[in-house]
Structure 1
Amino acid sequence: MATLTAASLTSCGGGGDKSDAPQADPSEAFTPAEQEEEVVPDTWPLTGIQVADGETAAKKHPILVTKIDNTVSASPQAGLGEADLVVEELVEGGLTRLAVFFYSQIPDNAGPVRSMRASDIGIVPSEHATVVTSGAADVTIRRISDAGIPFIQEGGPGMYRDSSRNAPYNLMVHLNDTAKSFKQKAVRPADYLPWGDGSDLPKGKKATTLAASFSGGHSTQWEFDGDHYVNTNSNAAPDDQFPADTVLALQVQVGDAGYLDPAGNKVPETKFEGQGQAWLFHNGRVIRATWHKDSLTSTLSLDFKGQTLTLPAGHTWIELVPAGPRNVTWQK
């Protein structure tokens, strides 16, 4: 992973956090040891989709996990249409934030970029990934750094302020510039999820609409249109929607991160490890399963009545929903 160096930059997410924060230095990025006759899998690590002829899944940049605001104030979100995978997580005030994963495609523009949370330790891959963020509170910076997760914040390659947007929702990133700033040997990250072709999926039940409720004030809603799942209350532009082939809703435990935001709200921390209930929505049907993750850095696995499931190759949106009754609902 990239080397962390000290820099004094101003964060602009999560209520104007400020810190003297270690930064990912793209010029000193991790370079894996030379391997003889290394065979690079011919599928993308974040989707399981086979690469096109003449392409390779080994890139000269890491996975760029970009923290993007998910409120009406962020409209229109930019870049989601070119993302490989999205994880939605709870933040303070009952709202949510997106960890948007870019690798097979890198958009020119993405954002609005906001701050990290300790929850990201269980979301961001432990190797070959860098967080693109506005910054974070000091306690979060320390925990992210202790976890060995590199990040780039405001002032880093590609970051800029869009004068047509209101602060703090105006920090954007030319993500192509960020990707080009890395100097490393081409490497393919490990698969983020256990990918398959869908042949092992149980029939499940018909489910053409669903809702993932994070709080009394926010529920993310989806509708299957016969091809993809459409986020019907998305903050992205109509032509920049995430093309979800699968929505994976996971009930998780949520704790207290141990500090308050500037408005006095407790900051929640998603515990993305252990096990819990899972709902896999694919092709207009739902399969109820159990998810397992031995540690924050482990790969997720899914179990259905003793059978290990794979995720159908494609674009997946993961909802990390607080555990509770009727937090994941659907209709035929």
Structure 2
Amino acid sequence: MASKTTTRNRRTESVVRDARQLIRITATLTALSLGLAACGGEDKKDEDASDDPKSIASSEGDPATWPLTGLPVEGGDSAEQDHPVLVLKLDNTEASSPQQGLSHADLVVEELVEGGITRLAAFYYSDIPGDVGPVRSMRSSDIGIVSPVDGAMVTSGGAAQTVERVVDAGIKIYNEGSPGFYRESSRSAPYNLFTDMKKVANASEDDETARPVDYLPWGAEGDLPDGKAANTLTADFGSHATNWTFQNGSYVNQNSHAADGDEFPADSVLVLRVDVGDAGYTDPAGNPVPETIFEGDGKALLFHGGKVVEGTWSKDELGSAVELKTKDGELTVPAGRVWIELVPIDDKGGSVTFGK
């Protein structure tokens, strides 16, 4: 309780007596209030906290949930890490098969690259694995993907224009030549670059523990509004489509390139329809390099529990967190592992279909 210290008033003794009496009355009422709270409110407070993962706090008062999943921190760990969120660019073509380390990612974003194919941005924070790859190059689209959590890029590099823009955005880059990177002799270039993420995490430590902001607006499954039945979905980027089915409580990527047992366990799939611009240069094959415009707003489809909820997404600027809404208000994502599909809007060659 906060009580004001009465300033001694020398003008009259009666004012002093009145002030002291007021202090005694206030202290008595406060003591009674605290006593009632201790007797009747503590159990209710603890009971409510146990129902909400976000209300669970460690003895040090650290945030109780992981920023990239919304899941509770367990086992006495802290969500404040001595390394940034590490975002690794992962090849997503047949040539990359089998991908390694995808099952350890907290969150994955699939984005368009040249030629209508896709690349993955795999986020690592709560669980840092060993070997991950194949590691590929970054794009300017990654600025809007990585900036909201002040992440660092783990990549094979990028075009000069891209590197300059990423650095100007204040994003740290770890690439070949940094600790942990190596070439896998059993694979062919450029699909043979791998990294030991533990070594990258150690190299990125700065002795300043911190917890990033939540990447998505996390909530509980019970918060979701009623949706349409949707046990299958296809996110089409032009020359590549990612197919999902809802099986045994989670979403299974039907054309994943991950090693057996190393697939990403998606509790939800979040599709955001995005505009696509021109990055201003071409790849070595002469293909124009697209740039996903990950700011502004657009249509959103949240797939969870075999249903889809339709709404909208918004992002004020590249470094802002994603906000989700339906016509009735805020839309939250059930805490868990999420795969985000940044699918171009229809007139930019993308499409999304789903079925029962």
How would you bin the TM-score normalised by the shorter chain? 0.7 to 0.9
Q: Partners of 2:89 and 2:64 in 1: how far apart?
A: 28
Is 1:204 the counterpart of 2:211? The answer is: no
The equivalent position to 1:155 in structure 2, one of 151, 169, 177, is: 177
Residue 266 of structure 1 pairs with residue 266 of structure 2: no
Q: Which residue of 1 aligns with 2:70?
A: 48
Offset of residue 126 of structure 1? 4.3
Q: Matches of residues 1-332 of structure 1 in structure 2 within 5 Å?
A: 39-181=61-203, 182-215=205-238, 217-324=239-346, 327-332=351-356
CA deviations on 1:281-314 (whole Å, 9 max, x unpaired) are 0010001111111111111011111410111000
Query: Secondary structure of the residue that 1:144 maps to in structure 2?
Result: helix
1:213, distance to aligned residue in structure 2 (A): 0.4
Aligned residues: percent identity? Answer: 57
Alpha-carbon distance between aligned partners in 2 of 1:76 and 1:258, rounded to the nearest angstrom = 32
Gaps of 5+ in 1: 1-36
Displacement of 1:185 in angstroms is 2.3
8 A Cα contact 1:226 1:283, kept in partner? no
- Residue type of the alignment partner of 1:222: W
- The answer on whether the counterparts of 2:149 and 2:215 sit within 8 Å (CA) in structure 1 is no
Instruction: Report the 3-state secondary structure (helix = DSSP H, G, I; strand = E; otherwise coil) of the residue aligned with 1:100.
Output: strand
TM-superposed CA distance for 1:188, in Å, is 1.2
Shift of 1:107: 0.9
Deviation at 1:96, TM superposition (A): 0.3
For 1:42 and 1:290, how far apart are their aligned partners in 2? 28
Task: Judge conservation of contact 2:148–2:215 (CA < 8 Å) in 1.
Answer: no
Q: What is the alpha-carbon distance in structure 1 between the residues aligned to residue 61 and residue 294 of structure 2?
A: 31
Paired residue secondary structure (1:238): coil
Who wins on radius of gyration, i.e. which is larger? 2
CA contact (8 A) 1:125 1:192 kept: no
Native 8 Å contact 1:194 1:301 kept in 2? yes
Structure 2 residues without counterparts, runs of 5 or longer:
1-58
Aligned length: 295
Verify the 8 A CA contact 1:85 1:316 in the aligned structure 2. yes
Q: Deviations over 1:230-250 (max 9, x none)?
A: 000001012000000000001
CA RMSD after TM alignment? 1.3
Give the 3 Å change call, closer, same or farther, for CA 127–331 of structure 1 in structure 2: closer
The structure with higher relative contact order (CA 8 Å, sep 6+) is 1
Q: Which amino acid aligns with 2:166?
A: I
